[in-house]
Every structure is written in C-alpha cells, then in structure tokens.
C-alpha cells in the first residue's frame, strides 16, 4: 500500500516574496470524490495528467496511490466529472537537503500560500525555512479538497 507522510505549513507572505525560487508550475486540480475518509483527485499540468486516490489522514500519514494519465484524459475528467476544482502555482524549493512544495493558490483561494514537505517517517527531523509561518498539518480547512468547497476567500 502506498503511503504519504506529509507536513503542511502556512507561508509568511512578505518573506516568501524575497525567496529565490524556480519557475512555478500551474496546476488545475479537481475532485471526483471528496469524502471524509477518501478523495479521488485529477490533476492537470501543462503537459501531464495524474489520477490520485488518498485515504483518511492519521497524523501526517495517509494512504496514497498516484498514476500518471494522458493530459487529454485528465482535462476530460476535469471538464466532465469533477465535482469541485481549484487552481494553484506550485514551486519546488530545495532547503537543507529536502524539497518543499509551495502552493500559491488562485481564484477563490487567492492569498493563501501553503508549503508541504514529504518525510520518510513522522519522526523524521528537518530544518524549517525562515519563510515558514506556522504548522497546519491535520487542520482540515487547509486540505485542497476542502478548499474547493470552502475557499479561503469565504473564511
């Protein structure tokens, strides 16, 4: 069974603006199923599509299965079957031998910037960049699937 161990943090906006970062990648992301125990997500980049199934989170860990699919099929799934959707720009930033994925949300979630780090275990130690504000791991309102139904602009 695939497992994802991920911690999630809010990003300090002003400090983030000063970070040297690579070009971001636009994601269009929609959900075929958003259930408290599981989600089925479709993600589309400029060149790739992905189908992802995630289970219930326990701490920072949950089941995850991700499959690359043709971009044309991902677009079709998003257009015809998605029950909710969001867009964001993702930056992959290296810091102290780890990759941080930083999402700047668009549309109804504009203004929200969230950073995630994947770990090998929940106990794994890692350095936190100065541009991190506070940890929100386990806070459901920051789950992407929740942001499609209850966007940041409505908080």
Domains of the chain by residue range = 3-154
114 in Cβ contact with 142 (< 8 Å): yes
Whether the model pTM is above 0.85? yes
| CATH of 3-154 given 3.40.50.300, 3.50.50.60, 1.10.1130.10, 2.40.320.10 | 2.40.320.10
Residue that the structure tokens 């791991």 belong to: 137
Per-residue model confidence as pLDDT tens digits over 94-146: 999 999 999 999 999 999 999 999 999 999 999 999 999 999 999 999 999 99
Q: Pick the catalytic residue: 31, 91, 142, 143?
A: 31
Q: What confidence score (pLDDT) does residue 136 get? A: 98
Residue 47 has a pLDDT of: 94
pLDDT at 1 over 70: no
Backbone φ, ψ for residue 123 (5° rounding): -90, -5
pLDDT score recorded for residue 36: 84
Give pLDDT, residue 155. 96
pLDDT digits (tens, 9 = 90+) for 14-73: 999 999 999 999 999 999 999 989 999 999 999 999 999 999 988 899 999 999 999 999
31 is catalytic: yes
> pLDDT value at position 92?
97
**φ, ψ dihedrals at 142, nearest 5°:** -95, -5
Give the pLDDT confidence score for residue 24 in this predicted structure: 97
DSSP for 48-79, written as a single string: -EEEEEEE--BTTEEEEEEEEE-HHHHHHHHH
* Joined tokens for residue 37: 């125990």
């Amino acid at each position: 069974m695939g497992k994802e161990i991920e911690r999630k943090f809010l990003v300090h906006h002003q400090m983030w603006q000063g970070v040297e970062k690579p070009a971001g990648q636009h994601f269009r992301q929609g959900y075929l199923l958003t259930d408290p125990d599981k989600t089925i997500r479709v993600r589309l980049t400029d060149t790739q599509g992905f189908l992802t199934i995630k289970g219930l989170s326990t701490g920072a860990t949950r089941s995850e299965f991700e499959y690359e699919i043709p971009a044309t099929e991902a677009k079709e799934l998003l257009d015809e079957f998605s029950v909710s959707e969001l867009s964001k720009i993702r930056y992959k930033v290296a810091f102290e031998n780890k990759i941080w994925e930083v999402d700047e949300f668009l549309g109804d979630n504009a203004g929200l910037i969230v950073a995630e780090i994947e770990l090998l275990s929940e106990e794994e130690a890692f350095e936190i960049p100065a541009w991190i504000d506070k940890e929100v791991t386990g806070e459901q309102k920051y789950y992407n699937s929740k942001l499609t139904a209850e966007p940041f602009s409505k908080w």
